[in-house]
Amino acid sequence: MPRRPSRRRELRETSRALLRDVRGCHGRLDRGLTPHDHVRVSVIVRSELESSLGELRTGVADPRAGIFGPGSLSWTLASDLALFMGGGRAALLQLAHPMVAYAIDQHSRTRADVLGRFRRTFDSVFAMTFGDLDAAFAAARRVHNIHSRIHGVIPQAVGGWAAGTPYHANDAGALRWVHATLVDTVLAIRQRLDGTLPPDVRDRYVVETNRSAALFGIPRALLPDSHAAHEAYMREMLASDRIAVAPCARELAAFLVGRGDPAAGRAQAPVGRIVEAVTHELLPPHLAAQLGLRGAPRRTRATLAAFGAIYRRLPRTTVALPAFGEARRRVTGEAPSRLAGLTGRVLEGLAQRATGA
């Protein structure tokens, strides 16, 4: 277990992180953990991440299985290709948080490197969910280090956020929102495809995924202890002015569904139209409208409904995520599959075709 930094070193690290954010900012900056004060920036520093990882490690029985392992709901509910149906929903819910939107707009190379962004994002997500403990922790530290360099200010007033409000990619509140959107999207997709999940399954899944939140150092006090608590948080956020679509979020949404550069004269790709239709169907209506998404014709909606019935009849092995299949093989001592890389390349190709990049 890594040695805990001295208190003096921890204070220096904290001060440096805060000073980076306050330069040029005129918003209030505070390290308090008040979850509903969106003017504050509460930066999670490396020592806090390491403390969170150390606590998480104590609850892991088999490091080969990672933070979840066989029998977990995360390996049951979030282990098949259907989850990619919700990728647009999760991404656009996250972009509806101005801190997230401006961090991506000002620091990400998404537009210039769609394939690289797709690969890096899912490499990290799959390592955290399906990797062994070392892989999960390495991904957590890698993401934290990248986030530590992403900070700035919101350049214009949007929703309840004043121009000049500082943001930081390791802000506890923003990370909490991103985590909640992923949990919420998995449940939305599963219930769309499989029907309503029993209350105890939803409760267990929400509490279990708090382990994922620990990989980002999100304080336990900010995390739900039931599905009802998760739902209450989502309702409160979506009804508040903390979730507001910034101009850059609308532009990124258009790019992600293949409508990002009308001046180039490129028509939206069919895959992009499908992604847009599915995402419009899954998002809260007011956000879909604010993001400028176009809904699907009635015929397309009927096709989407029929897809669920067909998908449920497919053998599980044919729809399993490659990362999940490799995790099962690792735990049982089998050799890696030669087909995993092929499936991954197909998914990457679909991401490129959706955006038209």
- CA–CA separation, 116 vs 99, rounded Å? 23
How many of the other CB atoms lie within 10 Å of CB of 340? 17
Give the whole-angstrom CA distance, residue 329 versus residue 178.
30
CA triplet 250, 227, 236: central angle to 5 degrees?
45
Average pLDDT score over residue span 189-197? 89
Distance CA 110, CA 118 (A): 8
CB atoms within 10 A of CB 252: 21
- Give the residue, 155 or 308, on which the prediction is more confident: 155
**Mean pLDDT of all residues in 125-134:** 95
What does pTM read for this prediction? 0.83
Tell whether 188 is covered by a domain.
Answer: yes
Model confidence at 82, pLDDT cuts 50, 70, 90, reads confident
DSSP state, residue 240 = S
How much is the pLDDT for 192? 86
Tell me if 212 sits within 8 A of 63, measured CB to CB: no
pLDDT digits (tens, 9 = 90+) for 233-249: 999 999 999 999 999 99
Block residue for tokens 């390592």: 127
Structure-token match 């098949």, residue found: 80
Residue pLDDT, tens place only, 87-99: 999 999 999 999 9
Sequence-distant (6+) residues with CB within 8 A of 247 are 156, 158
Site of tokens 């609308």: 250
Binned at pLDDT 50, 70 and 90, residue 137 comes out as very high
pLDDT per position as a tens digit, 252-278: 999 888 886 655 556 788 888 888 988
Domain that holds residue 84: 7-355
Identity of the residue numbered 263: A
pLDDT (0 to 100) of residue 13? 46
pLDDT of residue 272: 85
Q: Categorize the per-residue pLDDT at 5 as very low, low, confident or very high, splitting at 50, 70 and 90.
A: very low
- Model pLDDT, residue 301: 64
For residue 221, the model assigns a pLDDT of 95
Decide which of 317 and 156 is more confident. 156
- Average pLDDT of 307-329? 84
> In this predicted structure, what is the pLDDT of residue 177?
98
77 neighbors 195 (Cβ within 8 angstroms): no
Q: Give pLDDT, residue 353.
A: 56
Between 32-36, 190-194, 222-226, 236-240, the lowest mean confidence (pLDDT) is in 32-36
C-alpha 2/C-alpha 96 separation (Å) is 36
Q: Is residue 2 part of a domain?
A: no
Distance CA 101, CA 161 (A): 12
10-62 per-position pLDDT tens digit: 434 433 443 343 333 333 333 333 334 444 569 999 999 999 999 999 999 99
Give percent of the chain with pLDDT exceeding 70. 76
Domains contained in the chain, number: 1
Q: What is the mean pLDDT of the chain?
A: 83
Helices (H), 209-321: 210-214, 227-239, 247-256, 270-282, 285-290, 298-311, 316-319
Question: Residue 1 domain-assigned?
Answer: no
* Full DSSP string of 128-194: HHHS-HHHHHHHHHHHHHHHTT-EEE--S-BTTBPTT-EEETTBHHHHHHHHHHHHHHHHHHHHHHH
Is 30 contained in some domain? yes
**Cβ atoms of 322 and 299 closer than 8 Å:** no
Mean pLDDT of 154-175: 96
Amino acid 350: pLDDT: 56
Given 3-state DSSP classes, what are the helix, strand and coil percentages for the chain, each rounded to the nearest 5?
65, 5, 35
* Residue 249 falls inside a structural domain: yes
Specify if 117 maps to a domain.
Answer: yes
Q: Do 172 and 219 form a contact (C-beta atoms < 8 A)?
A: yes
| 139 — pLDDT class (breaks 50, 70, 90) | very high
Number of Cβ within a 10 Å radius of residue 26: 12
CA 17 to mean position of chain CA atoms: 23
